[in-house]
Amino acid sequence: MGVMNDPLTNDLFPQALLPVTLQGPADLEGFRRAARALLARQMLPEQVSWHSSDTPVQDLFASPIAGAVAATTAIHNAAFAYAPPVGVPPEFVTLCETAILHSDPNRFGLLYRILWRLAHEPGLRHDPLDADMVMAQQMAQAVRRDMHKMKAFVRFRTVQDETFRSNPGGGPLHVAWFEPEHHIAEAIAPFFARRFTQMRWAVLTPERSIQWDGAQLSFGPGARKSDAPPPDAGEKLWLTYYENIFNPARLKVKMMQKEMPRKYWHNLPEAVLIAPLAAGAHERSARMVDEVPIGPTRRLPDITVLPVTMAPDEDSPVSSLEQLREATNHCLECPIGACATQSVCGEGPLQAKLMFVGEQPGDQEDLQGRPFVGPAGQLLDRALDELGIQRGQVFVSNAVKHFKYELRGQRRIHKTPSQREAAACQHWLDDEIALVQPGLLVALGATAARSLLGRAVPVMANRGRIFERDDGRKVLVTLHPSALLRMPAEGREAAYADWLADLSVLTQQPQD
Ligand code: URA
């Protein structure tokens, strides 16, 4: 096939490359239009040089030829608008959409070459080992990986900006800094808008900044790391949480670096802990193995089973939290109470408008006698912090007031309470609700949802939904934070983002 003369360029400058300048490094529409037009004019891939803001035309005025050719580009760009569509396999369109975001300056040339070849080599679409196709696939895969990492490793910090100061009810601005490898900022923005619909946020990157005002996405120029806010209190909580969930016996450095590559560490608050925790892991796990198994010590004297006649009197509900604590400490309406260290009742202001209900106290809660103080509590605290809700303003409790566990060696492993056990505890929870009178309750997990709504509510199918109880109180159903902690590290951040999105409904609800 001979080289076609392009009426605009090649007649005048047969040796010159035709520079095509796109509007930005991820200008798919511009690329599509230009490629169609070039193909219609039978411009060989080798005759075109592609440019965008990341690969500008070099030496534009260095030679009269280059200058003159550059001048023709504008004419071409106008002509591109009228190019006819080209029939290509749909997989190629999908491949282009992703591979074009790669940072390799040769990506446009490669994709145009494939387009050209698809039009002229019918066998190409059936050749999975073709070098050009393989290279484009690899680019697309690298872009997908970069997007995945951005979803997992973006860390927001709260800023009390002007909008927050004039309307604190709207919640603070959340700002994150991230350095993607490829040109993914605009492509990934809708993901963050969906995940954090109820929050105002901005993600700053060196190339683009993305902003969501709660209703609309907008894009601005790139930023510097120093434009993002410094670490805040929420970050300290994240570090404590990370320290808590770190299990030295399960440390697999290679695996961890695969999931959380070193290049992301400098923007991850928890990364400062990795080296010291990893260095001490061997010693800590050896100590764990050597320790003689011991059961937890009960702080209360042994309890004898109450005769049925001493079961709580339903007609005289408790009138204070102290009374509730005292009564639950002696409750033996189900077997769990006999093994726990103490009962754990709800905590928070009695006039709180918002009440969180979990499943049952965990190991730490059982020892400290306070709800949500262990790892799940720290994750809950982080979420509250990011939503601008103060933990001291909400009431936090559980459906079941004692810790149910199974002893494995020296470890007490959480066991889900049975429906009968939760039902036996129901009246204590009702007492708490009657004392606090919250307008809005949050059911963290299935046990809490059943206790608050009186029937089984599948959590995954109903997460983020608000139900109304018979007494008119509203109940938001979502996952229990422990469910997030149990997830593989890979998906944990994305799951946390979903959870935060469920909870962000709270900032918009009247709680009276
Ligand atoms: N899980 C719960 O459900 N409640 C707590 O208090 C702690 C962990």
- Is residue 497 within 8 A of residue 151, CB to CB? The reply is yes
Instruction: Give the list of residues 6+ apart from residue 90 with CB closer than 8 angstroms, or none.
Output: none
Domain-embedded: residue 303? no
Give me ligand 1 centre to Cα 480, in Å. 8
Domain-embedded: residue 299? no
Are 30 and 75 within one domain? yes
Protein residues whose CB sits closer than 6 Å to any atom of ligand 1? 358-362, 365, 371-372, 374, 376-377, 398, 480, 482
Domain of residue 479, residue span = 321-508
What is the position in ligand 1's atom list of the atom closest to the CA of 377? Answer: 7
What is the position in ligand 1's atom list of the atom closest to the CA of 359? Answer: 3
Pair of tokens at residue 21? 């300048």
Q: Could you give the angle at which helices 64-80 and 28-40 cross, rounded to 10 degrees?
A: 100
Best of 355, 359, 366 to mutate for ligand 1, by most ligand atoms within 8 A of CB? 359
The Cα–Cα gap between 173 and 79 comes to 44
So what's the pLDDT on residue 67? 38
Are 394 and 482 within one domain? yes
Concatenating the DSSP letter of every residue in 122-179 gives GGGGG-TT-HHHHHHHHHHHHHHHHHHHHHHH---EEE--HHHHH-GGG--EEEEE--
Among residues 499, 420, 423, the alpha carbon closest in space to that of 460 is found at 499
pTM here is 0.51
What is the position in ligand 1's atom list of the atom closest to the CA of 448? Answer: 3
Are 330 and 447 within one domain? yes
Are 96 and 167 within one domain? no
216 by Cβ neighbours in 10 Å (0-12 / 13-18 / 19+) ranks as exposed
Are 409 and 489 within one domain? yes
The Cα–Cα gap between 358 and 346 comes to 10
- The torsion angles phi and psi of 190, rounded to 5 degrees, stand at -60, -30
Are 164 and 134 within one domain? no
Q: How far apart are the first and last CA of the chain?
A: 77
Output b/e per residue, 355-389; b: 16+ Cβ within 10 A.
Answer: bbbbbbbbbbbbbebbbbbbbbbbbbbbbbbbbbb
- Is residue 398 within 8 A of residue 357, CB to CB? The reply is yes
Give the CA radius of gyration of the chain.
30
| Helix, coil or strand: residue 31 | helix
Count of the separate structural domains present in the chain: 4
Are 379 and 397 within one domain? yes
Are 222 and 239 within one domain? no
- Is residue 321 within 8 A of residue 435, CB to CB? The reply is yes
Tens digit of each residue's pLDDT (9 = 90 or more) over 379-410: 999 999 989 999 999 999 999 999 999 887 77
Give me ligand 1 centre to Cα 485, in Å. 12
Give me ligand 1 centre to Cα 472, in Å. 26
Concatenating the DSSP letter of every residue in 378-444 gives HHHHHHHHHHT--GGGSEEEESSSS--EEEETTEEEE-PPPHHHHHHHHHHHHHHHHHH--SEEEEE
Give me ligand 1 centre to Cα 39, in Å. 63
Are 30 and 66 within one domain? yes
3-state secondary structure 426-483: HHHHHHHHHHHCCCEEEEECHHHHHHHHCCCCCHHHHCCCEEECCCCCEEEEECCHHH
Domain-embedded: residue 316? no
What is the position in ligand 1's atom list of the atom closest to the CA of 365? Answer: 6
The Cα–Cα gap between 74 and 57 comes to 13
Which of 206, 227, 248 is where one domain is finished?
A: 227
- The torsion angles phi and psi of 78, rounded to 5 degrees, stand at -65, -40
* DSSP 8-state symbol, 34: H
Low-confidence ranges of the chain (pLDDT < 70): 1-16, 57-85, 231-260, 268-317, 509-512
Which of 149, 178, 203 is where one domain is finished?
A: 149
Among residues 447, 413, 390, 273, the alpha carbon closest in space to that of 339 is found at 413
So what's the pLDDT on residue 269? 67
Among residues 418, 428, 268, 406, the alpha carbon closest in space to that of 345 is found at 428
Are 23 and 111 within one domain? yes
Give me ligand 1 centre to Cα 304, in Å. 26
Best of 328, 482, 485, 486 to mutate for ligand 1, by most ligand atoms within 8 A of CB? 482
Are 144 and 166 within one domain? no
Best of 241, 357, 360, 450 to mutate for ligand 1, by most ligand atoms within 8 A of CB? 360
Domain-embedded: residue 67? yes
Give me ligand 1 centre to Cα 363, in Å. 9
Give me ligand 1 centre to Cα 373, in Å. 8
Domain-embedded: residue 14? yes
What is the position in ligand 1's atom list of the atom closest to the CA of 445? Answer: 3
Are 135 and 158 within one domain? no
Pair of tokens at residue 141? 């895969």
Q: Give the domain CATH number at 383.
A: 3.40.470.10
Say if strands 474-478 and 440-444 run parallel, antiparallel, or are unpaired.
parallel
Report CA-CA distances (Å) from 64 to 46, 57, 60, 70, 92: 21, 14, 9, 10, 38
Q: Residues 469, 473, 476, 477: is their CA dihedral positive or negative?
A: negative
Give me ligand 1 centre to Cα 325, in Å. 17
What is the position in ligand 1's atom list of the atom closest to the CA of 480? Answer: 3
Domain-embedded: residue 159? yes
State the alpha helices, DSSP H only, in 154-252: 162-166, 185-195, 233-245
